[in-house]
Every structure is written in C-alpha cells, then in structure tokens.
Structure 1
Amino acid sequence: MDVEVGGDGESPATGKCFARCLPRETSNSSFRRDFILAYKTLGVVFGGLVTSPLYVYPSMNLESPTEEDYLGIYSIMFWTLTLIGVVKYICIALNADDNGEGGTFALYSLLCKHINIGSSLQSKSVNSRTIFSYSDGAMVTETRNKLGKFLEKNIIAQRIVLFIAMSGVCMLIGDGILTPAISVLSAIEGLRGPFPSVSKVVVEGLSVAVLLALFLLQKHGTSRVSFLFSPIMGAWTFTTPIIGLYSLLKYYPSIFKALSPHYIVHFFLRNKSKGWQLLGGTILCITGAEAMFADLGHFNKRSIQMAFLLTIYPSLILTYAGQTAYLIRHLNDHSDGFYKFVPHVVYWPMFIIATLAAIVASQSLISASFSVIKQSLQLDYFPRVRIIHTSQNKEGEVYSPETNYILMVLCVLIILYFGDGKDIGNAFGVVVILVMLITTILLTIVMIIIWRTPIIIAMLYFVPFFIMEGVYTSAVFTKIPQGGWIPFVISIILASVMFSWHYGRQRKLEYEMKNKIPIDCLNELLSRPEIQRVAGICFFYNKIEDGITPLFGHYLKTMRSLHKVTIFITLRYMLVAKVDSNERIIIRKLGIDGVYECVIHCGFADSISLERDHFFTEIRDSLEQHIKMNSGEFSRHIEEENSELENAKKDGVVHVRGKANFHISKSTSLFDKILLGFYQFLHGNCRSALPNMGIPLHQRVEFGMLYET
C-alpha cells in the first residue's frame, strides 16, 4: 500500500482505536516461522556488525603496536560486543518496542503513549490522568509514577527528551549514509592487495557503481531483498569464523586468554592517552547494533535474538580472534587487517563474499533509515514523504523513494569527498557511539516510567553503560577535525527540519483546537440565510476530534453554500494489515439533514479508493446500520436516507480539502518568522496530506486559509 503518513486530512491510530486479535499460532509453527525469519535477518539486520572486521583495525591508526597492545584491543572488542551487543540490545533493548517498532524514536513514541508529553495529535487526545492502550484487545489503565508526573509538568524536561530523541533519529540516518560508504569502499579496497596498480579512483568508481545498484533495488521491498541477501550473509558468517579459527590456531592458539579484563587495564596503563584515542576505532566493532534495534519492525524480537546469539556473535568473536592472532605475528600489517589474514588460496572467493557482504551491510542501515523516517512521520515530526508498505503482513516493512534517493546521493558524495575508508571511519565512530548513548538514556526512562523498574535496578543498567559509552564518546570527539564533523552537519540539518516542522504543526494544532467549530454550533451556522444548500455530495476532510476544523467555517464564509449531503471524512491508519469490512467505516448523523461524520479505519495493507462504487456502497451500508441502532422506524428512515444519498451521487461528487498557511506580518516575532517561514517552505514542497486514492481531478477542490501567528 502506498501512503503519505501524517498531516491534514488524516489521523494516526490513538488509544481510542480498536485492535484486532489474530489467531494464536502453535508453538511449533511459531518456532518454525521465527527460525525462517532468523535466517532472513542475516540479509537485512546485521550487515554493519558482521562486516566491521573489514574496517576496524584499519581505522585505528596504530603506531608501533606490540603483542600486549593487540591482546588489550581484542579484550576491549570482546567485552564491547558482549556488554553492548548481547546484554544491552539483545537482552534489554529489544523488549522496548512500540507496536513491534524499534529505534530511538520508537522509545519516544512509547513514552508519548504512556505519559502526556509532546504535542502530537496522539498526546492531545490522551486523558491527563490515565492512559489507554490496547494489549490483545483489552484496555489497560495506568497511573503515573513520580518521573512520569515530573515529565508531564515540566516543559523544559519534555523538550530535552524530545531533543534527545530527535538527535538519535538524525544520528541513525547519518549512520545510514556512512555505513554503505565505508562498508563497500573497504571491501572494494581488497583489489589493491594483489593489484597495487589499481588506483583509488578506480576503487571509488566501483564502490559508487555498487551503491547505485543497491539503492535501485530498494523499491522491491525488504522481504525480496533479504531472501536474495541472506545466503550471502550466511556464507560470510560461516567462512570468516573458519578462517579466524584457522588463523588463531596457526599464529596464536592462546588468544582467548585476552578475554580476561586485566588486559584492558594494562592496555590503558601502558598507552595512556594514546590508548584512549584508539577507542575511536574499537567502537566500530559494534557498529550496526542500533540498526539491529531499529530494524525490529521488519522482523521480530525472537528471530533477531536467535540469529545474533547463534551465528553473528560467535562469528565475530572468532573472526576478531583470528585477525588479532595474525597481527600479533605480523605487527605492522594492521593497515589492512582483514585481507592480510585471509589465506592466499581463498583470497578471491573471500573478496567476492566480502564485497557482497558489504552490500548487505548497507541494506541494514538503509532499511533502518526507512523505519525511523516512518516513525517520525507517524508522530508528525517530519515533512510528509511517500511511504510504501512493501509487505502485506508486516507493518514495519516500508520503503520511501525520497529517503532512498537522498541517501544514495549523500553516500556517493561521501565516497567522492573522502575517498578512503579510514577517513570515513572517523565520522562513522561519532555516529555509532552517540546513537547508542541516546538509546541508553531513553531506555532508562522507559524502564522507570513504563516498565516500573525500581530505581536501583534501573541504575544498574544506566550507570555502567553510560560510563562505558561516555568514555567512547569522549574518544571519538577527538576525530571531529578529521571527518567527524560530517555527521554533526547532517544532524544539524535534519534536526532543523524536524524541529521546524514540529513547531509549525504544533502552532497549527493550537490554532485549530482554539478555533474549532463545536458540533453543537453546526446547526446554527448552517441555518444562516446566506448559506444555500446545493445539489450533490461533498466529502470534506477533517482532522479535529470532537469538533470541526476552522477551515470549514472559512469555506462556508467564502462559498456561501453547502452540498445537500456533506460527509466529514477522517482517515485513521491502524497498526494492522487489513481492517474488517464491518469495522472499516463508522458513520453518524450530526443532527442536521444530510450532514454526517465518517471515520475510515485503514490497515497498512488496505487499498483505499474513494471514487469507486463499492466505497459509496460501504458508506450507505454503514449509514443503514447507524439508523437501525438509533431509530425505531427502520424501513422508512433507511429508504429516505438511501434515496437522498443516491440522488446526491447522481448530482455530482466533490472532495474538498483545506490547506492552511501562516500569516507572517511585521509584528510577528523574529523567532516565528524564521521557524514558521521554514515550515511553510517545507509544507509547500512536501507531498499532499491525502494519499493517492484515485480521486479524479475534476472532483478535487482545494482552498487556502491564513492562520494568524
């Protein structure tokens, strides 16, 4: 299904909406499904993690390393993978999903739904004392704890949380730009081993060609891509640990003694500030972990856990062990720490597999970028872009053409600007650790407010990870002059777009809530002598709950007429694949002849077309049900209403949508002039609020209105 999410004319799912219960699966079928999904996750979710051996050691810029240095570095990577990868993400973070979605903005969305923070359409409809959510169709009422009450009352704290969430989204999108660039470039660099004459220009050109092909494949959907990519990643995760095992047995069989943390202590005591700076390279061993969390909507928790614990984690431990063992015997070969440790007999097969695996690595961050953009749209924090659901049964599996092509252009520019995987690694480290630090902060808030975890236990999670990631952050900040500034520039641009859009939407919502037309006043408004009722049927798109948008008042004042049959349409998208036909349309009369309120519930895989006859039939059938429930004279009322609808349809159908802009005058503050001016630029250049529902052009009417600032 092709949908533009968020904005005028539609409303996202709120706590008031229903949830459909799916049939329960047997344990055997569930396990079989998860096992198949676990295999598919290899091709989408873990790319950045499993290809990190291609660029971790080359990114460190080691100077005269010793055996003890390599043992310390391997110990750091082992415990980083174990603590951050296994404990933080696999055991804890994957449980903090929002209707199956993961990532930093999913955590923020989860907070918005459980406490009254933010100014999105969802939070405006939430009661200030209790929150209503659905779990297997049951409504649950939750009371606030102290932290929840503090966030609700403190606007500064709310803005800090929002800023943290926005920063996480921006950094993850930056990750989606840098991961494809560094992964593919590092893999193609393998050509220069046997062929030193191959120039950097050739390597850059081949890398660009590979990335262009990858981005053009995205429109086919994650499922099709994962089916193609999973065998590639399966081959990578099977062959690299075998080579790693061969290497450690040949060069340094006692490498696993480095698992003792005392090697980390000695590493820092020996290298001091230099060892601290090298953390900027070791952090790349865990790159892709955040994408694993953000890609949760494409698969499910158990399949990701199975794939990581059974294949990815042991594969990385053995691969890094083999690399380190080789480097202990070849101390100065770290500039190409992957291809040097590959035996010559299998060099070319491994080059092919590594290149294909780098393509897969790029996929994990690209799909994660699509997910966080969709989450931002659902919360109305990002300009409307086209969101295509590429799966009929997975709500989280999406594709965004605009996002895809912007990422493609930026990836190509990164390669052409840097031309070297080592330089990109400096920028990469900044993105990797900052998004992890942001997840730690938001996840701690979720643990305390939503999971009701005791403060002491929550601190046992927060303090160790905050200190660990804080130390990593301080190290990567030294790389800012050497390319680390790139993600900050990207993040500042994205944050400006998100904040301006959010501010503009908030101001519009405040104006409309303040000036909405109450349902009770509608009869008085339409009874004015200057208002004429004309033949035909009008679908007027409305987004205000318990009232009508002030755009309708402006429409009446300007047109001085209203169709004999007027239906106020609200589109509400649900987190289910398809909505049952008897639950799809809810319609009621507004106490005035020919005037109705209609809510259309749409699943993400539903096909919407408002100009086809079966939609009109659904409207009529829903109206019949409404009359039967509210009138004792069934047949006469139904016949009259049906006759009125049929006659109005013959006289003509029109779809009316209002479009509001801000009136920026000389008295408007400079702050509003800048932010609202930028918002209007974004609003004027983004997609239409209404999805493409096949409405003929001659039936569409759009009119404008200026809101006072």
Structure 2
Amino acid sequence: MAPMNSGLRAEGTPPSGAEGGAPVQNTKVLMLAALGVVYGDIGTSPIYAFREALIASSGGEAASRGEVLGVLSLIIWALTIIVTIKYICFVLRADNRGEGGTLSLMALARGAMRDRPGPVLVVGMLGAALFYGDAVITPAISVLSAVEGMKVVTPALDPYVVPITLAVLATLFAIQRFGTGGVGIVFGPVTLVWFLAIGLSGLVHIFDGPEILLAVNPYYAVHLLTSRPEVAFVTVGAIFLAVTGAEALYADLGHFGRRPIVLAWLSIVFPCLLLNYAGQGAFVLTHEGKVDHPFFQMNPGWALIPMVVLATAATVIASQAVISGAFSLTRQAMQLNMLPRQTVMHTSETQPGQIYLSRVNLLLAIVVGLLVIGFGESGKLAAAYGIAVTGNMLMTSMLLYIVMRRIWKWPLAGAIALSALFGFIDIGFFLSNIVKIFDGGWASLAVSLAVVIVMWTWVRGSQLLFDKTRKNEIPLDFLVDNLARKPPHLVDGTAVFLTGDPSSTPTALMHSLKHYKVLHRQNVVLSVITAQEPTVPDSERVSIERLNDHFMRVRLRFGFKEHPNIPIALAICRRQGWKFDIMTTSFFLSRRSLKPSASSAMPTWQDRLFIMLARSAADATAYFRIPTGRVVEIGTQVAI
C-alpha cells in the first residue's frame, strides 16, 4: 500500500508551552529530571574516555607526565568549547518553537530557506541518520564498559562480562513497551547521586597529586598535539569520547526548556565531570603513569562494588535516553515524510513525548546485541564510537549557520567567524575519528548509511509517486464545476476524501463516481499537512474553503511532534460552521498497489525498496485514528 502521507506539505506554525517548550514547573524539579534524561550519556563518559585517550596517546605504555596533563587539558577544553560555548551559549538558543534536535533545526532552517530547501533537507537527513548510528553504539559501549568494572573486582568474572551485558540490554529493550514514566521517576535522583559520587571520587585524588590542576593551561593540550603529530589524530579521536552526548542537550530541549538544562550543566554536571577527569589524571600520575581502569581503580575497597553497581545503573539510564531519542526522532521523520509511517504507542496518558515504536525497538535491540557480541570489549567499541557523533555535530553547525543568517539576522562576518570556529573543531574531530573506520568505525557508518538509503528512497519515491498520480488526476475545481452543471444522483451523508494534493481530484473520488454513479450531498476533500514547527494550536488546526453547496476543501495542520487524529481535529470544524458528525460520515481512502516500472526514474533496487517500505507502512485508518467502521478503501495499481 502506498503511503497516504506521500503528499504532505510543510508549513510554518506557532508555539505552545513555556520557555524553551518546557511546561511551567519548578526549575529545580526540571533540573533534576534533566540530569537523568539529558546528561546520562555524557555523564557516563568518564568510565572510558580518559582511559582510551591516554592509551591512544601513550600507545598502551606507561603514560608520561606530559601525556597525562595534555590529555586532561584536551578534555577540559573540549568540554568548555563544544558543550559550554557551542551548545549552552548558542545551539540551545536555536529552538524551533521550544523544540530542539537535528530534524527540528532542519525544519527551522528549511522554513527560512524556501528558495533552496533541498540541500537543507539533505543536511538534516544526514544528521538524523548519524544520530541512529550513535543510538546503537551508545547502549553497547555504555553498558559494556560499566559491566567490565566487575573484572576489577575479580578477573574470574571476565568470561561473564558479555553475557551479563546482553542480559542487561535485553531487559532494557524488553521493558520499553511498558513506557518510561515509572522508571523515569528515579532517573534524576540516581543520576544526581552518580554525578556527586564521581565528583567526590575525583576530588579525593586531586589532593594526592595537585599538580594535575596545571592541565587547565591549554599549553599542555597544544604541546601534546604538536610534539607528537604521529599520534595526535588518534588522541583527538579518543578525546571526543568525553563530549559524546552533547547533542542530547539540544535534542531534549522541548522536554525541559533551556534554563533547567543550562543550570544543571553549570552547577552540577560540568564541575563533577571536571573533578572526576582531574582525579583520574592525578591517580595515574601517582601510579607512575600505568593505565588500566583508572575510573574503577581509584575507588578501592568498599567503594568499588557500589561504584560498579552505580555505573551500571547510570549507563542503563544513558541507554534509555538515547533509545527514547530514537523513538522521538523516528516520529518526527515520519511526520516530515522522511520515513514511512509506523504504529506509535503512547505509553503515558499525560506526557505525549513518551512513545514506543515496536519495529524501531526491535531493530535497535538486534543491532546493539550484534555490536556487543562482535566487539566484545568497550575499548574496541570505542573505535566505532565518535564518527557518527562528530558527523551529527558537524551537520548541526551547518544548520546553525543558516539560522544565524536567516533568522537571527547576524552580519555575514560574525556568522562566518563563529561557524568557522565550530566547523574547524567539528571537522578536526570528524577527521580524527574517520581514521578509525577500519578499526570499528565502519559499524556506525554502516548503520548511518542504511538509514540514509532508506530515507532518501522514501523521500524520492514518495515524490515520484506523487508526481505520477498527479498527472492522471484532473483539477478539483474543474470537476466541481462540471458536477455543478450536470449533477449525478445525490445521496444523504458526508463523504471525506483524503488526499495529499488538495488542488487535484482524489483518486478515491474519481473511482467512487465511476463505479457507484452517485455523489454524497456533502463532500470534503481533506489534506493533512505537517507543519515545520512541533505543535499547532487548535485555533490554527483547521482551514475550511467552501467550493459550492456540495464540496468544500479542508486542511488539517499538525506539528511534526504531534500524532494526527482526524476525528478530533474535524470536531473543531463546528466552530467554523461545519456541523461534523462522525456517525453520518464515510471516509474514502485510496489503497495503492505499487509495482516496479521499467521506465522508473529510480534504479530497480530502489524501486523494490520503496515498494517494500510502502507495504510496511502502518495502515492509514489506524494512523489517522479513523473509526474502522466509517472507512471505505478503493484500490488502484500504480507502476512507479
């Protein structure tokens, strides 16, 4: 079946909610909640980031004083420039009516570049695809690195690390269908305990080697990179592990608002991360530069097992956040017609953002499990980590430039200067990670490439299908005029015909006239439009245009974060004079059966992929929440 949303249009629309899209709640409560959802990923980076960067710099040998100070200096300034300056100070201000994230920023940029939206779509598509590459690596490396802490407790547990990791991940994906509402209550407090614990752990060891504080001087970072250029790229690639998760600050903007996210970072997350990284550096310095698992080793005795348990809980929370992000991103992509529609389950009666997509969950679980089995160690997975994240950040910088120029109206020199700074850093990190492609980086790129192919096939195939069907349709105004002059037999009731092109006669209407030779007294040509903003207020939901006594054209507008519900939206029409009654209304839908064509503009393999995607799309009746007893489907066959 071809998608009903293949002809959806994008428009602009207004806001709702409080500052930054967050509900009006106590700022401290929102800060606590943001700790669990927003900072779970970047908060678990200390488990492996410093270790991997030091191994990359020293080649696995005992690290020198200069290497320890240089690696720590790089981490400090990466967190400062990328997270604090780029995201906290600038990216978080680029909210789309309170919402953030790659696709939200893309929609904002496309709305400002209506003359050339194609390249912006490509950038947004690449950013979204790279996020999926990150979404499969994050649960694998986070949980695996935490469970590896058991080897520090006793090496005898080494054979059980992968099985336990798989069991934890299987449980995590299995409970997704029950929603995160109940579990989310403990996310914030557990993550708060986590940050306080790692901050205190680091602070204790700083006193053992206070010279580690010299790493605040960027000289040590520059000296490390320039004195050993042969390992500089590899070291920078490992350093990036410390800032993975920064995109979550922007992606979850709509859940909490800018103020709680900023305050949580400046008052809790940033200081605790700096203390822990500095503590690890001091610990390595006081142990002659030997590198194994400094994060766990600097918590000896009674503190080790509680830290392993807490680390496992924190990594599960970090994984939960990225899985939920994948669900939200998929829904946005469906609404923006970049992916075929899928059944969306709402797991909360009060929080519309808590959703579950079974197919996405299953695919993520399979890929994550294969990565854990295939790589087996967090150190090996670290090579696969970074490429997708750095690519995503680069896409964000490109879209941010458009926002600076077209929406914020920055002067050209200022926009170029800041974008050049961010772009230079992003490209540097990307190139340093791309060299790891044969060491495991291919994994995230393979996932991202698969998503790009699916998205591009869906976008291109949907447009070709729309163009082809439009050629065979006659203008709606022409048909309405002809039927007014020579009206067929009229029957009581209302017929609603869904279409992606409100200017053309819906295929279902033409076939209804051809086969039944009758016309309802009230006929509605209905289009569902996806706005370039996250939500649309009820006052702007419905647009009615009466063509004559028997025909009218209705447009329903939904934000890209809203789930279309046609019956509820049509009930709003009563305010505009149309007394809509669901019990006397029939909905006519076109069910297209697709087949490949030798004259198609797409290659045969892409034709077949598009047809497979179209057949996998959720039923339009269920997707638009139309009562099944009021639906008439009329089938047609189309060669693409």
Q: TM-score, normalised by structure 2?
A: 0.89
In 2, Cα distance between equivalents of 1:23 and 1:328: 48
From 592, 598, 602, the counterpart of 1:660: 592
Cα contact 1:426–1:483 (8 A) shared by 2: yes
From 85, 89, 92, the counterpart of 1:91: 89
In 2, Cα distance between equivalents of 1:63 and 1:357: 27
Matches within 5 A, 1:416-565: 416-511=373-468, 516-526=473-483, 531-565=488-522
From 316, 320, 328, the counterpart of 2:285: 328
1:181 alignment partner in structure 2: 140
**Structure 1 residue matching 2:156: 3-state secondary structure:** coil
In 1, Cα distance between equivalents of 2:27 and 2:178: 22
Query: Which stretch has the larger CA shift, 386-395 or 398-407?
Result: 386-395
**Structure 2 residue matching 1:667: 3-state secondary structure:** coil
**Structure 2 residue matching 1:539: 3-state secondary structure:** strand
Cα contact 1:57–1:334 (8 A) shared by 2: no
2:41 alignment partner in structure 1: 48
Cα contact 1:81–1:285 (8 A) shared by 2: yes
Q: Determine which structure has more spread, i.e. the larger CA radius of gyration.
A: 1
In 1, Cα distance between equivalents of 2:51 and 2:247: 22
2:66 alignment partner in structure 1: 68
In 2, Cα distance between equivalents of 1:180 and 1:23: 32
Q: Kindly tell me: are residues 93 and 388 of structure 1, through their superposed partners in 2, closer, same or farther at Cα, counting changes over 3 Å? A: farther
From 301, 313, 316, the counterpart of 1:359: 316
Matches within 5 A, 1:253-272: 253-272=210-229
From 548, 554, 571, the counterpart of 1:591: 548
Query: Which stretch has the larger CA shift, 297-306 or 47-56?
Result: 297-306
Q: Does residue 1:230 correspond to 2:188, yes or no?
A: yes
CA drift of 1:111 comes to 1.5
CA drift of 1:102 comes to 1.7
| Amino acid in structure 1 at the alignment position of 2:37 | V
Cα contact 2:150–2:158 (8 A) shared by 1: no
Cα contact 1:284–1:432 (8 A) shared by 2: no
Kindly report the root-mean-square deviation, in angstroms, between the aligned alpha carbons of the 2 structures. Answer: 3.3
Q: Does residue 1:402 correspond to 2:359, yes or no?
A: yes
Matches within 5 A, 1:144-293: 151=116, 158-159=118-119, 161-200=120-159, 202-250=160-208, 252-293=209-250
**Structure 2 residue matching 1:380: 3-state secondary structure:** coil
In 1, Cα distance between equivalents of 2:502 and 2:303: 65
In 2, Cα distance between equivalents of 1:549 and 1:704: 12
CA drift of 1:183 comes to 0.6
CA drift of 1:354 comes to 0.9
**Structure 1 residue matching 2:620: 3-state secondary structure:** coil
Q: TM-score, normalised by structure 1?
A: 0.81
| Amino acid in structure 2 at the alignment position of 1:231 | P
1:705 alignment partner in structure 2: 636
CA drift of 1:577 comes to 7.3
Query: Which stretch has the larger CA shift, 436-445 or 414-423?
Result: 436-445
CA drift of 1:703 comes to 1.9
Cα contact 2:153–2:304 (8 A) shared by 1: no
Q: Which runs of 5+ in 2 are unaligned?
A: none
| Amino acid in structure 1 at the alignment position of 2:174 | L
**Structure 2 residue matching 1:562: 3-state secondary structure:** strand
CA drift of 1:536 comes to 4.4
**Structure 2 residue matching 1:335: 3-state secondary structure:** coil
Matches within 5 A, 1:611-650: 621-622=574-575, 625=577
| Residues 362-388 of structure 1 deviation map (CA, whole Å, 9 limit, x = unaligned) | 122222222322222222111112334
| Residues 244-291 of structure 1 deviation map (CA, whole Å, 9 limit, x = unaligned) | 0001102x1121111111111221233221233222211100010012
1:687 alignment partner in structure 2: 618
Cα contact 1:534–1:561 (8 A) shared by 2: yes
Query: Which stretch has the larger CA shift, 221-230 or 183-192?
Result: 221-230
| Amino acid in structure 2 at the alignment position of 1:560 | K
Matches within 5 A, 1:598-609: 598-600=554-556, 608=565
From 5, 9, 22, the counterpart of 1:8: 5
In 1, Cα distance between equivalents of 2:86 and 2:75: 15
**Structure 2 residue matching 1:687: 3-state secondary structure:** coil
Q: Which runs of 5+ in 1 are unaligned?
A: 1-5, 118-150, 153-157, 627-641
CA drift of 1:322 comes to 0.2
1:126 alignment partner in structure 2: none
CA drift of 1:55 comes to 1.2
**Structure 1 residue matching 2:385: 3-state secondary structure:** helix
Cα contact 1:180–1:211 (8 A) shared by 2: yes
Cα contact 1:587–1:622 (8 A) shared by 2: no
In 2, Cα distance between equivalents of 1:362 and 1:536: 52
CA drift of 1:169 comes to 0.9
| Residues 396-441 of structure 1 deviation map (CA, whole Å, 9 limit, x = unaligned) | 5543332222212211111111111111110012222221222222
**Structure 1 residue matching 2:98: 3-state secondary structure:** coil
**Structure 2 residue matching 1:654: 3-state secondary structure:** strand
In 1, Cα distance between equivalents of 2:184 and 2:420: 37
| Residues 304-358 of structure 1 deviation map (CA, whole Å, 9 limit, x = unaligned) | 1111111111111000000011011224542312111113231111111111111
CA drift of 1:485 comes to 0.5
